[in-house]
A and B are shown apart, each in its own frame.
Chain A
Amino acid sequence: MELRRAILARLSDGVFHSGATLARDLGRSRTAVWKGVRGLVGAGLDIFAIRGKGYRLAEPLELLDAGLIRDSLDAEAARALNRLDVFFTLVSTNDFLLREARPHGNVVLAEFQTAGRGRRGNRWVSPPASGICLSLGWRFESAPDSLMMLSLFSAVAVLRALQCCGITGVGLKWPNDMVHEDRKLGGILVESRGQIAGAVDVVIGLGLNVRLPPNVGASVDQPVTDLASIGGAAPSRNRLAALSIAQLLRMCRDCQAGETPAYLQEWRNHDVGRGRPARLKLPDREVAGRVLDIDERGLLIMQIAGREQRFSSGELSLRLGA
Chain B
Amino acid sequence: MDIRKVKKLIELLEESGIAEIEIHEGEESVRVSRHGSAAHAVVQAAPGGPSVAPAGPETQARAAATAAREELPEGHVIRAPMVGIFYESPAPGRAPFVELGKSVRAGDVLCVIEAMKIMNQIEADVAGTVSRILVRNGEPVEYGQPLFIIREA
Listed in ascending order, the chain A residues whose CB lies under 8 Å from chain B are 98, 119-121, 143, 147-152, 175-176, 188-197, 282-284, 298-299, 312-313
Contacts and interface: CB of A to CB of B under 8 A. Distances in A.
Interface residues of B, number: 30
Contacts of A152: 116
Given A148-B115, A189-B117, A195-B125, 13 more contacts: A119-B114, A119-B119, A121-B91, A148-B118, A149-B116, A175-B116, A175-B117, A176-B116, A192-B118, A193-B121, A194-B120, A283-B137, A313-B85
B145 to A, nearest CB: 12
B138 A191 contact: no
Contacts of A284: 138
A192 B115 contact: no
Contact of B84 (A121, A149, A176, A312): A312
B94 interface: yes
Contact of B92 (A98, A120, A149, A194): A120
Interface string B81-105: 1111101001111100000000000
A313 B81 contact: no
Contacts of B94: 121
B118 A195 contact: no
A176 B114 CA distance: 14
B118 A191 contact: yes
B78 interface: yes
Nearest to A190: B118
A147 B122 CA distance: 15
Contacts of B78: 196
A151 B87 contact: no
Contact of B116 (A121, A143, A193, A313): A313
Contacts of B87: 120, 283
Nearest to A148: B115
Given A283-B85, A284-B138, A119 B123 contact: no
Interface string B102-145: 00000101000011111111110100000000000111100000
B79 interface: yes
Contacts of A121: 90-94
8 contacts: A119-B114, A119-B117, A190-B117, A190-B118, A193-B109, A193-B123, A283-B87, A313-B114
Contact of B138 (A98, A147, A188, A283): A283
Interface of B: 78-79, 81-85, 87, 90-94, 107, 109, 114-123, 125, 137-140
B123 A148 contact: no
Given A283-B138, A312-B85, A196 B118 contact: no
Contacts of A120: 87, 91-92, 114, 119
A270 B152 CA distance: 49
B119 A192 contact: yes
Contacts of B125: 195-197
Contacts of B83: 148, 312
B132 to A, nearest CB: 17
B86 to A, nearest CB: 9
A175 B114 CA distance: 12
A148 B116 contact: yes
A190 B117 CA distance: 7
A190 B92 contact: no
Instruction: List 4 tightest A-B contacts by C-beta distance, closest first.
Output: A121-B91, A283-B138, A175-B116, A190-B118
B32 to A, nearest CB: 31
Contacts of B90: 121
Given A152-B116, A284-B138, A313-B84, A196 B79 contact: yes
A89 B121 CA distance: 25
Contact of A151 (B79, B117, B140): B117
Of A151, A188, A196, most buried by chain B (CB within 10 Å of CB) is A196
